């Protein structure tokens, strides 16, 4: 089935990371040109090389871009448009947690998580919206988290990821008249290389399996497939939604 991604231009923020890479791989395999933007230039370059090997002939752009920096986002997205053409698909994937119980949390830990997850997404959406509106087509996918429901030790991350759902729903209503859909994915625990490297990985995996109807951890491709779905023609009439990729947890 043709998913309608051939010739589309997609930006994946945090494209040097685990879920970003897999998302970019699936998009490229469906014929989209892909830009990997990451604050870590080495990760972006490495992801580009891996993607070009995995999908021969793929058009891949990789660049350093810190999404908390409004000017860097404007410049980085303008470079993508110059290199690949107008941006059709934006995957707001860059993010991380800084866990601590609230009374011990430093202001910096609150600010950096919110500035990345929420304000960074605001910057990126603003960078792509004018072009999408002009072309009357756009797909924005925000990577939230199961933690949006509230996780102990994650008041900063949970509130930022919950805020992302509010942003998704509000922007979907603003942008829908321009044939732009805005949706979210809320992954549960995903077995990324970073998670697998943790000393307590076996314990975490066992605990998670016990709590999950589908008794396994998520894989990056489980998340990427939902992003691909939202960007594809199969989701042309779907907006302001969040799909949980948690194995039913
Ligand atoms: N891995 C999980 O279990 C899980 C679960 C739920 C949600 N998520 C979310 O999925 C997304 C990807 O997670 P991942 O596991 O692939 O993490 P990851 O650490 O492998 O990748 C995240 C990438 O984002 C980049 N990044 C961080 N801050 C940035 C900034 N300011 N500007 C640009 N790039 C920045 C990092 O350099 C990194 O390459 C995150 O938003 C995360 O919160 C992950």
Q: Give 58-100 pLDDT, tens digit per residue.
A: 999 999 999 999 999 999 999 999 999 999 999 999 999 999 9
List beta partners, residue 36. 12, 62
Q: Is the CB of 93 under 6 A from ligand 1?
A: yes
Contact indicator for 186, 151 with CB cutoff of 8 Å: no
Q: Is the CB of 39 under 6 A from ligand 1?
A: yes
Reported for 152-158, long-range contacts at CB under 8 A and 24+ positions apart, including other chains, are: 152/101, 153/99, 153/100, 153/101, 154/97, 154/99, 155/102, 155/105, 155/110, 156/97, 156/98, 156/100, 156/105, 156/109, 156/110, 156/113, 156/114, 157/97, 157/98, 157/99, 157/113, 157/117
Residue of 110, 122, 157, 230 marked active site: 157
Instruction: Report domain 9-189+220-244's class.
Output: alpha beta
| Averaged pLDDT, 225-247 | 98
Cα of 1 from ligand 1 centre, angstroms: 30
Q: Give 125-169 pLDDT, tens digit per residue.
A: 999 999 999 999 999 999 999 999 999 999 999 999 999 999 999
Calculate the alpha carbon distances from 218 to 86, 162, 190, 193, 232 in Å: 33, 20, 4, 12, 22
| Averaged pLDDT, 171-192 | 98
Please confirm, yes or no, whether 101 is among the known catalytic residues: no
Share of the chain above pLDDT 70, in %: 100
Q: Which of 11, 19, 92 to mutate to test the pocket of ligand 1 (most atoms within 8 A of CB)?
A: 19
Q: Give 38-48 pLDDT, tens digit per residue.
A: 999 999 999 99
Residue 103 DSSP code: G
Ligand 1 atom with least separation from CA of 43:
39
Q: Is the CB of 40 under 6 A from ligand 1?
A: yes
Q: What does pLDDT average to over the chain?
A: 98
For the chain, the maximum distance between any two Cα atoms, rounded to a whole number of angstroms, is 52
Q: Is the CB of 36 under 6 A from ligand 1?
A: no
């Amino acid at each position: 089935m043709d998913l309608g991604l051939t010739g589309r231009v997609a930006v994946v923020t945090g494209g040097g990371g685990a879920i970003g890479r897999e998302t970019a791989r699936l998009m490229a395999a469906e014929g989209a040109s892909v830009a990997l933007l990451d604050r870590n230039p080495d990760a972006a370059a490495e992801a580009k090389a891996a993607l070009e090997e995995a999908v021969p002939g793929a058009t891949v752009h990789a660049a350093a871009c810190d999404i908390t920096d409004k000017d860097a986002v404007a410049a980085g997205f303008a470079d993508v448009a110059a290199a690949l053409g107008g941006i059709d698909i934006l995957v707001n994937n860059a993010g991380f947690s800084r866990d601590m119980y609230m009374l011990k949390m430093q202001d910096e830990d609150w600010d950096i998580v919110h500035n990345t997850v929420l304000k960074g997404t605001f910057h990126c959406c603003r960078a792509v919206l004018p072009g999408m509106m002009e072309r009357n087509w756009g797909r924005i996918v925000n990577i939230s988290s199961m933690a949006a429901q509230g996780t102990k030790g994650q008041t900063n991350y949970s509130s930022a990821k919950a805020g992302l759902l509010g942003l998704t729903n509000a922007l979907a209503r603003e942008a829908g008249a321009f044939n732009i859909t805005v949706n979210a994915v809320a992954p549960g625990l995903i077995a990324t290389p970073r998670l697998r490297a943790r000393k307590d990985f076996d314990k975490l995996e066992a605990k998670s399996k016990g709590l999950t109807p589908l008794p396994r951890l998520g894989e990056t491709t489980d998340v990427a497939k939902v992003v691909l779905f939202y960007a594809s023609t199969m989701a042309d009439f779907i907006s302001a939604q969040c799909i949980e990729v948690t194995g039913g947890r």
